[in-house]
Amino acid sequence: MRRFSLAIVVVALVSLAVACGGGTFFISATNGGVSFFTISGTVSVVQVTIIDGGQVTVVALINTGNAQSFKFCGNVASQFPTDAFVKVSYKPDVGCDTVLQVFR
Protein backbone atom coordinates (compact mmCIF):
# COMPACT_ATOMS: atom_id res chain seq x y z
CA MET A 1 0.00 0.00 0.00
CA ARG A 2 2.90 2.36 0.76
CA ARG A 3 4.34 1.90 -2.75
CA PHE A 4 0.96 2.66 -4.27
CA SER A 5 0.72 5.87 -2.23
CA LEU A 6 4.24 6.84 -3.27
CA ALA A 7 3.38 6.17 -6.91
CA ILE A 8 0.31 8.41 -6.64
CA VAL A 9 2.42 11.22 -5.14
CA VAL A 10 5.05 10.90 -7.88
CA VAL A 11 2.41 10.94 -10.62
CA ALA A 12 0.75 14.00 -9.06
CA LEU A 13 4.05 15.89 -8.80
CA VAL A 14 5.07 15.04 -12.35
CA SER A 15 1.61 16.01 -13.62
CA LEU A 16 1.97 19.37 -11.89
CA ALA A 17 5.44 19.84 -13.41
CA VAL A 18 4.09 19.02 -16.87
CA ALA A 19 1.19 21.43 -16.46
CA CYS A 20 3.54 24.23 -15.40
CA GLY A 21 6.52 23.44 -17.63
CA GLY A 22 4.83 22.22 -20.78
CA GLY A 23 7.05 19.15 -21.11
CA THR A 24 6.01 15.61 -21.81
CA PHE A 25 7.11 13.18 -19.11
CA PHE A 26 6.80 9.43 -18.98
CA ILE A 27 7.71 7.39 -15.91
CA SER A 28 8.73 3.78 -15.82
CA ALA A 29 8.22 2.18 -12.42
CA THR A 30 9.78 -1.06 -11.22
CA ASN A 31 9.50 -2.88 -7.92
CA GLY A 32 12.35 -0.73 -6.61
CA GLY A 33 10.69 2.55 -7.58
CA VAL A 34 11.20 4.94 -10.49
CA SER A 35 13.88 3.64 -12.85
CA PHE A 36 13.93 6.34 -15.54
CA PHE A 37 12.24 9.44 -16.92
CA THR A 38 11.57 10.50 -20.50
CA ILE A 39 11.27 14.09 -21.72
CA SER A 40 10.68 15.38 -25.24
CA GLY A 41 11.12 18.72 -26.94
CA THR A 42 13.03 20.72 -29.54
CA VAL A 43 16.70 21.23 -28.74
CA SER A 44 17.34 24.93 -28.22
CA VAL A 45 20.76 25.16 -26.53
CA VAL A 46 23.54 22.63 -25.98
CA GLN A 47 26.60 23.50 -23.93
CA VAL A 48 29.34 21.30 -22.51
CA THR A 49 30.76 22.63 -19.25
CA ILE A 50 32.71 21.51 -16.19
CA ILE A 51 30.81 21.13 -12.91
CA ASP A 52 32.55 19.82 -9.78
CA GLY A 53 35.50 18.65 -11.89
CA GLY A 54 33.45 16.59 -14.36
CA GLN A 55 32.08 17.24 -17.84
CA VAL A 56 28.36 17.98 -17.99
CA THR A 57 26.21 18.69 -21.04
CA VAL A 58 23.52 21.29 -20.42
CA VAL A 59 20.59 20.92 -22.83
CA ALA A 60 17.59 23.24 -23.12
CA LEU A 61 14.47 21.65 -24.63
CA ILE A 62 11.44 23.64 -25.77
CA ASN A 63 7.99 22.06 -25.72
CA THR A 64 4.79 24.06 -26.31
CA GLY A 65 6.71 27.32 -25.99
CA ASN A 66 8.28 26.57 -22.60
CA ALA A 67 11.99 25.85 -22.13
CA GLN A 68 13.39 23.43 -19.62
CA SER A 69 17.07 22.71 -19.06
CA PHE A 70 18.72 19.43 -18.13
CA LYS A 71 22.24 18.53 -16.98
CA PHE A 72 23.46 15.26 -18.46
CA CYS A 73 26.67 13.59 -17.26
CA GLY A 74 29.61 13.60 -19.69
CA ASN A 75 29.92 15.08 -23.16
CA VAL A 76 26.76 13.92 -24.94
CA ALA A 77 26.36 17.06 -27.07
CA SER A 78 26.57 15.10 -30.34
CA GLN A 79 23.28 13.37 -29.45
CA PHE A 80 21.41 16.71 -29.31
CA PRO A 81 21.44 18.50 -32.68
CA THR A 82 20.13 22.06 -32.42
CA ASP A 83 16.55 22.56 -33.68
CA ALA A 84 15.88 18.79 -33.73
CA PHE A 85 12.89 17.30 -31.89
CA VAL A 86 14.17 14.62 -29.49
CA LYS A 87 12.81 12.26 -26.88
CA VAL A 88 15.34 11.48 -24.16
CA SER A 89 15.24 8.63 -21.66
CA TYR A 90 17.44 9.33 -18.67
CA LYS A 91 18.17 8.09 -15.19
CA PRO A 92 18.07 10.83 -12.54
CA ASP A 93 21.09 11.25 -10.33
CA VAL A 94 22.65 13.83 -8.02
CA GLY A 95 24.42 16.63 -9.91
CA CYS A 96 23.66 15.35 -13.40
CA ASP A 97 21.43 12.77 -15.08
CA THR A 98 22.62 9.78 -17.10
CA VAL A 99 21.37 9.61 -20.70
CA LEU A 100 20.02 6.15 -21.52
CA GLN A 101 18.74 6.78 -25.05
CA VAL A 102 17.98 9.70 -27.38
CA PHE A 103 15.31 9.26 -30.06
CA ARG A 104 15.18 11.69 -33.01
Chain segment 38-94, per-residue pLDDT in tens: 999 999 999 999 998 999 999 999 998 899 999 999 999 999 999 999 999 999 998
* pLDDT recorded at residue 22: 43
Distance of alpha carbon 89 from alpha carbon 100, whole angstroms: 5
Chain centroid to Cα 103, Å, comes to: 13
Residues making up the chain, counted from first to last: 104
Q: Homologous superfamily of 2-103 in CATH?
A: Nucleic acid-binding proteins (2.40.50.140)
* pLDDT recorded at residue 15: 44
Q: Please, which pLDDT band fits residue 33 given cuts at 50, 70 and 90? A: low
* pLDDT recorded at residue 76: 98
* pTM score, whole prediction: 0.70
Domain residue ranges in the chain: 2-103
Largest CA distance in the chain: 44
Is residue 19 pLDDT above 50, yes or no?
Answer: no
